[in-house]
Chain A
Amino acid sequence: MSTVTDSPVADRSGLTPELQAARRRKVRRQRLAPVLYIGPAFLAIAVIIGYPVVNAIGTSFLDASLLRPGQDTFAGLGNYLALFGDPEFLTVLGRTLIWASSALVVQLGLGLLIANTLNKKLRARGAIRTTLIIPWIVPTVLVALIWRFMLDPVSGPINELLRSSGLLDNPPIWLADTRFVLPVLVLISAWKWTPFGAVILLAGMQQIPQEQHEAAMVDGANAWQRFRNVTVPAIRTSIALVTLTTISGAINNFNGIWMFTRGGPAGATEILTTLAYRTAFTQFDFGKASAISVVIFAMMMMIAVVYFYVVEGRKGGPR
């Protein structure tokens, strides 16, 4: 666009050899430029992500234990066959799916409610939005601290409230009760993660032209009909994005569960990530643990493929 050279015609015909050489150097430098800019970051990604991923996939085919260093043997599909033949693993796999789908239902439902509420003409809307997002920026360890305190059977206010209000004479010890612990963790993780989805959904809703709602109102649509027939179709992409991040976040969740229950009581909150971690760092069975993590990875990839097929395919390719 902006050529500094005098005249392109003269360029092509009568350039001195020195100038031609200089131009060649410049062209070569321009070709090298992307390497110089992207190279360092890419090298870092290759070393601290690419290599570990390849290594993990490789290790999943080995009989590898930290207790016997240097004595890894090839196991073929042995680790995978052992896993899928193990009813306990299948239970954990099933629980992971239950955990992820209930997280999706709660977080998407609440997220839509929050976004739809904040999309109305509210007093102090900005301040409300800012406040609602606080649990999301607070570290999980603080969430664990707060909710373990809230649910504490002796000092915590929740059981105290249930008792004093007469709702429950003998409220359960929520985090130690195999019947309640998983639903309670679903709710607590929704408390932390819903705001993130709500912000994405809200951004989508704010791009809907006001006229569409007004037209629907003129047609006599009530609030629910407008939400279903105007809002939801218009923010399909946002909903798909929240679905993807919620499911993958739940499948990948480790911190929250480990801090609250470490997979207990009696394995009631064990999901694939905590099982992989336990297998690797308390049993030191790196081969089996890698196989579990490859299973997690395969689930993530399936979600990603579905997402790109549904969202990007409909839009006609990414950007």
Chain B
Amino acid sequence: MRKNRSHATVGAHAVAGVLLLGTVLPFAWMVLSSFKTPAELNGADKQLLPSGLYLGNYEAVADTNFFTYFLNSVIVAAGTTTIALLLAILAGYGFARFTFVGNRGMLLIVVAAQMFPAVMLAIPLFITVKTLGLLDSLVGLIVVYISFALPLCIWLMRNYFLAIPVETEEAAFIDGCSRLRALWKVVLPPALPGVMAASVFTIIQVWEEFLYANTFIDTDDKRTLSVGLNSLIGEFTTDWGRLLAAGVLVMIPVLAIFGYLQRYVTQIASGGVKG
């Protein structure tokens, strides 16, 4: 039996190795190639490694609107996360602590709200945003992004608040604390991991979002990263060097944030089952 087990472990290591290779290799290839000269990228003699640390591709990124796209994404992510979380903390607390008529029904609506196809919302939202005069503005984009950020944030916050014993805030009430103050001072601090998780999830989704940003933004200066980089791909498909350098630059902050908050990310993904 012992032999059998070590056999299985060897197999598992082999499978893990193949999976790791398949995951890492494309990223590694992008990073390596971003340091290749145009001749090396298009030349017939393909080399695995770049001949030197050629930085021309990175310099070329500065000639595009890349950093404007980047900044726009940061603005939209910050705005969406702040507003969605403020609303979700209140609502999540409300769902966790009050029983009232329509409680379950409203919670069901929150869950169902995550299931509507984005394309379905895009058409009426387009008309609404246009009527409000918010077409081609980052503010309009933030308003629209709350539609996908808010339901998930409410759900996450509710689950975190449920795990916090009611006694913590009851003690604060006795000390003369109002409910809102107790929520802020006593209930929220232990639920901070939930706030972090909800923020990470919102930021990932905003970073990713393409459909609405592509539809509601016309001016190049207001494009977000997804749309901006995608337009560059269309424009420079033969100039891979500059695109790959831009890709590496997109990758760095994503990996930095992920490395720092990695446990929250996996926690949510697995939280789906524990609910």
Contacts and interface: CB of A to CB of B under 8 A. Distances in A.
Interface of A: 1-2, 4, 31, 33-34, 36-38, 40-42, 44-45, 48-49, 51-53, 55-56, 59, 113-114, 117-118, 120-123, 128-135, 137-142, 144-150, 152, 154-155, 157, 160, 164, 191, 196, 199-200, 202-204, 217, 223, 237-238, 241, 245, 248, 251-252, 254-255, 258-259, 273, 276-277, 280-281, 286, 289-290, 293-294, 296-297, 300-301, 304, 319
B204 A137 contact: yes
B147 interface: yes
Interface string B5-24: 00011001101100110111
Interface of B: 1, 8-9, 12-13, 15-16, 19-20, 22-24, 26-27, 29-30, 33, 41-42, 46, 87-88, 90-91, 93-95, 98, 100, 103, 106, 109-110, 112-113, 115-128, 143-144, 146-147, 150-151, 154, 170, 173-174, 179, 204, 207-211, 214-215, 225-226, 229-230, 233, 237-238, 240, 243-244, 246-247, 250-251, 254-255, 258, 262, 265-266, 269-275
Q: Kindly name the residue among A117, A123, A245 whose own CB sees the greatest number of chain B CB atoms within 10 A.
A: A117
Contacts of B210: 140-141, 254-255, 258-259
Given A191-B22, A300-B117, A304-B115, A280 B122 contact: yes
B240 A1 contact: no
Given A41-B91, A141-B225, A254-B210, 5 more contacts: A45-B109, A139-B208, A200-B269, A252-B117, A259-B210
Contacts of B33: 149, 155
A223 B19 CA distance: 20
Given A45-B151, A150-B26, A223-B8, A319 B204 contact: no
Contact of A40 (B87, B116, B121, B229): B87
A56 B8 contact: no
A2 B273 contact: no
Given A45-B151, A191-B22, A293-B123, A217 B269 contact: no
Contacts of B250: 139, 141-142
7 contacts: A38-B106, A44-B150, A140-B226, A148-B237, A149-B29, A155-B41, A273-B119
B229 A38 contact: no
A221 B110 CA distance: 45
A111 to B, nearest CB: 11
A123 B6 CA distance: 13
A52 B12 CA distance: 48
B116 A53 contact: yes
A120 B9 contact: yes
Contacts of A51: 124, 128
B266 A277 contact: no
B91 A52 contact: no
A148 B244 CA distance: 11
Contact of A254 (B126, B211, B270): B211
B1 to A, nearest CB: 7
